[in-house]
Amino acid sequence: MAKIYLDNNATTRVDPRVVEAMLPYFTEHYGNAASLTHSFGRDAEEAVERARQQVADSIGANPRDIVFTSGATESNNLALKGVAAMYRAQGDHLITVATEHKAVLDPLRRLGRDGWNVTVLPVDPFGHVSVERIAQAVTPRTVLVSVMAANNEIGTLQPIRAIGRWCKERGVLFHTDAAQAVGKIPLDVEEMGIDLLALSAHKMYGPKGVGALYVRRRDPRVRLEPQIDGGGQERGLRSGTSNVPGIVGFGVACELCRQEMTAEADRLTKLRERLRCGIQAQLSDVSSNGHPSERLPGNLNLSFSGVKGEALLMAMRDVAVSSGSACTTASVEPSYVLKALGLDDELAHGSLRFGLGRFTTAEEVEAAIEEVMRAVRYLRALNPLLALTSLQ
């Protein structure tokens, strides 16, 4: 059986069209984008600015509001720590959600150690946080609300537009980690009232090691304290020599996603439902996690009663998926995202995340269904309490 890649929420294959666009900037147009005294540098700078426009277009932003970084983790750190440093005189309260990525929760945890009051809101069984719950948590000292656009584990889409508009009406900054959402669902920073937005190229068929942070410059002007000092690149917010090939690839990846999003989302939604129905029709005690419809087109998270996610991963050697559990060298803990939904330890441990993407085929989905059924039935047969269930 040929290996099947269904882990596109972790990372995506770089689109060949993106690779083709990047190659000349390794060997022909290899100048430093800050070296504007000669044509090599000017060519590089022109390519960076073209990519800045392409990234901006993907989220309805002004290109001058785009700051290139090494990825969404750095972007989130710059947004959260940068705001905290600049707005401390105005307040000391930050709000986020229990199901956020660690790239948001860990910086906020550090800020909490530095004296900030951080409120982490619970979610409903689908992974949603409501505007009403955020409204109840906001105080006169609240500086920023951070809610991710789409969850990386369960695919649930948050009500970003409603949250952003509510925050704007009350003068609270709104940040969203949109690494999983950009290029997959429509996003518009103006319509949605977003002040800070983090995105990453490798989640959308671009190269690893490059991302961006949208920083609103008007209505209101968002001020950040830089986290990296040096040559003053990227409006002084992110010093360092520009990764020109990566930025070029990022721009092309954004452009391709913008052009193909509607058709791609429709195709992936159909494949996702074929995968879900195919598994649940032939295996008992399989439940879906996340919102049934308000979710990323290519994301499917399933819990399999009576089996461990790690055991399933080992049993499905030719299908690349992710376990819902977070593994460390010392222990295996159930996914904090699934626990936040209310799942018990058994179901949280027995979950798999399937990430379908641009290069996933219908034939691969059918093969994955067969492989999942084989692995689950085999593992359930090893459990005497589930021997009868495994034969269903």
Amino acid residing at 320 = A
Q: Give pLDDT tens digits for 2-34.
A: 999 999 999 999 999 999 999 999 999 999 999
Q: What angle do CA 358, 361, 366 make, to 5 degrees?
A: 140
**Token couple for 317:** 């050697």
Beta carbons of 261 and 184 less than 8 angstroms apart: yes
Q: Which residues, listed in sequence order, are joined to residue 121 by a DSSP beta bridge? A: 97
Residues in the chain with pLDDT < 50? 327-330, 388-392
Domain over 4-10+261-391 is classified CATH 3.30.365.10: no
Question: Where are the domains positioned within the chain?
Answer: 4-10+261-391, 16-256
Q: How many CB atoms lie within 10 A of CB 233?
A: 18
Look up 277 and say whether it is catalytic: no
Q: How far is CA 208 from CA 10, 70, 155, in A?
A: 11, 8, 21
Instruction: Determine the pLDDT at residue 388.
Output: 47
Instruction: Determine the pLDDT at residue 99.
Output: 98
- Rounded distance between C-alpha atoms, residue 164 and residue 297, angstroms: 23
SS3 assignment for the chain? CCCEECECCCCCCCCHHHHHHHCHHHHCCCCCCCCCCCHHHHHHHHHHHHHHHHHHHCCCCCHHHEEEECCHHHHHHHHHHHHHHHCCCCCCEEEEECCCCHHHHHHHHHHHHCCCEEEEECCCCCCCCCHHHHHHHCCCCEEEEECCCECCCCCEECCHHHHHHHHHHCCCEEEEECCCCECCECCCCCCCCCCEEEEEHHHCCCCCCCEEEEECCCCCCCCCCCCCCCCCCHHHCCCCCCCHHHHHHHHHHHHHHHHHHHHHHHHHHHHHHHHHHHHHCCCCCEEEECCCCCECCCEEEEEECCCCHHHHHHHCCCEECEECCEECCCCEECCHHHHHCCCCHHHHHCEEEEECCCCCCHHHHHHHHHHHHHHHHHHHHCCHHHCCHHHC
Contact residues for 125 (Cβ-Cβ < 8 A; gap 6+): 341, 342
Instruction: Determine the pLDDT at residue 194.
Output: 98
Instruction: Determine the pLDDT at residue 389.
Output: 43
In CATH, what is the architecture of 16-256? 3-Layer(aba) Sandwich (3.40)
- Rounded distance between C-alpha atoms, residue 142 and residue 31, angstroms: 44
Which of 194, 192, 325, 238 lies closest to 48, judged by CA? 238
Instruction: Determine the pLDDT at residue 390.
Output: 42
Q: How many CB atoms lie within 10 A of CB 108?
A: 22
Q: Give pLDDT tens digits for 72-113.
A: 999 999 999 999 999 999 999 999 999 999 999 999 999 999
How are beta strands 299-304 and 351-355 bridged, if at all? antiparallel
Q: How many CB atoms lie within 10 A of CB 360?
A: 22
Instruction: Determine the pLDDT at residue 384.
Output: 63
Instruction: Determine the pLDDT at residue 327.
Output: 45
Of residues 167, 254, 257, 327, which has the active-site annotation?
A: 327
Q: How many CB atoms lie within 10 A of CB 230?
A: 11
- Rounded distance between C-alpha atoms, residue 7 and residue 313, angstroms: 12
- Rounded distance between C-alpha atoms, residue 72 and residue 106, angstroms: 13
Instruction: Determine the pLDDT at residue 29.
Output: 96
Q: How far is CA 94 from CA 80, 182, 259, 286, in A?
A: 9, 24, 36, 37
Instruction: Determine the pLDDT at residue 1.
Output: 74
Instruction: Determine the pLDDT at residue 228.
Output: 95
**Token couple for 386:** 């589930």
Contact residues for 107 (Cβ-Cβ < 8 A; gap 6+): 76, 77, 80, 81
pTM: 0.95
Q: Under the phi-then-psi rule, with left for phi > 0, alpha for psi from -120 to 50, and beta for the rest, what region is 17? A: alpha
Burial class from Cβ neighbours inside 10 Å (0-12, 13-18, 19+) for residue 336 reads middle
